[in-house]
């Protein structure tokens, strides 16, 4: 497997001054393990248009600094990176993340990889832009629990941040510029150049026999491609698979946003990019391994009155399972 620094391509960022981080919950900070100089080349398999419309290097450097700084949490213990750790594919390795004062979130932290390709954000799609999305965890009482007014005031009281905002925007900290900087950084978290991308470009040796068998199952009898499609291997849509169903009553899911009863229990299709790094899986972190996820779909999900019509028991041999898991690990 290639290291994260080889798989994640970002626009080149200007150097920035690191700040000390303290995460009370486990006695360590979530470190910025990305390369100091980050590539501007869009990885194989992703749209070339991702490389267009750059924000400035200064803005990206500011967004990167903010992402790894606990200054945006009320008790200065939680970073954006606490729940979206680069070493875990910009997700969390726990079913639910730990916020300030040890509070637990209500959803598993999804990967931020390739969110530049997203059409809505959060598991229920409650926001339409990254600029909206990046601010909400700051104010969420289970996550960072800091009002945006207080966040801006903290940044304005820090001379180094005043200078960084000035370099990026020609003005001091504000809600708008905070969102632009954070979203600009997240928008550059790209992952591609997988074995699948190389195979699709004609490198038929990119897969071994088991992985090739998994691809054939994915694209044929498994029907996995119907939801996991496109360059980011997600339809960016919402489906009820039965995850989170207690008895026969699903969580609200997408219905929380739309108010449509038929959307009850539907959650966003996650990307499969970087899958081997982003366990546990599902919106509630209820599946610990890729094997667990495959077995869940093999059994046809969890029946309920709102189950997506695409979800049904799969005719899979144990060999099919092993092959599909092998393929998914290459992504």
Query: Tokens at residue 84, please?
Result: 């979206």
Residues 216, 176 share a domain: no
Burial of 229 (0-12, 13-18, 19+ CB in 10 A): middle
- CB distance 196 to 330 below 8 Å: yes
Give me the pLDDT at residue 28, please.
59
Q: How far is CA 330 from the centre of its chain?
A: 18
Confidence at residue 36, expressed as pLDDT on a 0 to 100 scale: 82
- The residue from 191, 211, 235 where one domain ends is 191
d(CA 227, CA 229): 6
Inter-residue contact 279 to 87 (CB < 8 Å): no
Domain identity same for 53 and 166: yes
111 and 233 assigned to the same domain: no
Q: What is the CATH number of the domain that holds 134?
A: 1.10.760.10
Please indicate, yes or no, whether residues 153 and 290 belong to a single structural domain of this protein.
no
Report, as ranges of residue numbers, the positions in the chain whose pLDDT lies below 70.
Answer: 1-28, 38
- How many structural domains is the chain composed of? 2
Confidence (pLDDT) at 35 = 84
Q: Which domain holds residue 206?
A: 195-329
Looking at the fold, whether 186 and 206 belong to one and the same domain comes out as no
Cα separation, 152 vs 131, whole angstroms: 15
> How many Å apart are CA 8 and CA 322, to the nearest integer?
27
Tell me, yes or no, whether 290 and 238 share the same domain. yes
Q: Where are the alpha helices (DSSP H) in the chain?
A: 4-7, 57-67, 80-83, 130-133, 136-139, 148-156, 159-169, 175-186, 195-200, 209-219, 255-258, 290-298, 318-329
- Give which of 17, 94, 15 is closest to 280, Cα–Cα: 94
Q: How far apart are CA 90 and CA 92, in angstroms?
A: 7
- What span, in angstroms and rounded, lies between the C-alpha atoms of 281 and 119? 21
Q: Does residue 112 share a domain with residue 46?
A: yes
As a residue count, the chain comes to: 331
127 DSSP assignment: B
In degrees and rounded to multiples of 5, residue 163 shows phi and psi of -65, -40
Q: What is the pLDDT of residues 231-256, one digit of tens each?
A: 999 999 999 999 988 777 899 999 99
- What whole-number distance in Å separates Cα of residue 33 and Cα of residue 189? 13
Domain match, 144 and 76 both? yes
Decide if 78 contacts 144 (C-beta within 8 A): yes
Which residues, in sequence order, are CB contacts of 319 under 8 Å at separation 6+? 213
Same domain, 243 and 314: yes
CA distance 114 to 17: 26
Pair 312, 299 in one domain: yes
Query: Is the same domain home to 161 and 266?
Result: no
Q: What is the DSSP letter of 46?
A: S
DSSP-based three-state secondary structure for 281: strand
CA 182 – CA 260 distance, rounded (Å): 32
Domain end: 157, 191, 225, which one?
A: 191
pLDDT of residue 248: 75
CA distance 214 to 321: 8
How far is it, in rounded angstroms, from Cα 272 to Cα 291?
14
Which of 175, 191, 207 is a domain's end point? Answer: 191
Give the residue carrying structure tokens 């954000």.
121
Tell me the C-alpha to C-alpha distance, in Å, between residue 208 and each of 4, 201, 204.
22, 16, 9
10 Å Cβ neighbour count for 159? 8
Q: Could you tell me if 136 and 68 lie in one domain? A: yes
């Amino acid at each position: 497997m290639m290291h994260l620094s080889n798989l994640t391509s970002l626009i080149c960022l200007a150097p920035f001054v690191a700040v000390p981080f303290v995460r009370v919950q486990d006695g360590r900070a979530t470190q910025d393990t990305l390369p100091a100089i980050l590539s501007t080349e869009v990885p194989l398999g992703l749209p070339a248009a991702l490389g267009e419309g750059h924000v400035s290097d200064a803005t990206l450097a500011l967004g990167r600094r903010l992402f790894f700084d606990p200054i945006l949490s009320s008790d200065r213990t939680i970073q954006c990176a606490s729940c979206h750790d680069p070493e875990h594919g910009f997700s969390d390795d726990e079913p639910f993340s730990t916020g300030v004062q040890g509070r637990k979130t209500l959803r598993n932290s999804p990967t931020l990889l390739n969110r530049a390709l997203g059409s809505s954000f959060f598991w229920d799609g409650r926001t339409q832009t990254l600029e909206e999305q990046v601010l909400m965890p700051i104010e969420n009482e289970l996550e960072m629990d800091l009002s945006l007014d207080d966040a801006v005031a903290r940044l304005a009281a820090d001379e180094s941040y005043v200078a960084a905002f000035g370099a990026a925007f020609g003005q001091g900290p504000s809600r708008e510029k905070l969102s632009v900087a954070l979203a600009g950084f997240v928008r550059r978290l790209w992952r591609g150049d997988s074995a699948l991308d190389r195979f699709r470009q004609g490198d038929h040796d990119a897969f071994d026999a088991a992985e090739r068998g998994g691809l054939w199952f994915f694209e044929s009898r498994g029907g996995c491609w119907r939801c996991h499609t496109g360059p980011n291997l997600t339809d960016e849509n919402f489906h009820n698979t039965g995850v989170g169903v207690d008895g026969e009553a699903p969580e609200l899911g997408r219905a929380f946003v739309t108010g449509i009863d038929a959307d009850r229990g539907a959650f966003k299709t996650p990307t499969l990019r970087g899958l081997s790094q982003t366990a546990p899986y599902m919106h509630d972190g209820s599946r610990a391994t890729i094997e667990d996820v495959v077995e869940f779909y093999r059994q046809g999900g969890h029946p309920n009155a709102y189950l997506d019509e695409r979800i049904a028991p799969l005719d899979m041999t144990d060999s099919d399972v092993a092959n599909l898991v092998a393929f998914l690990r290459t992504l």
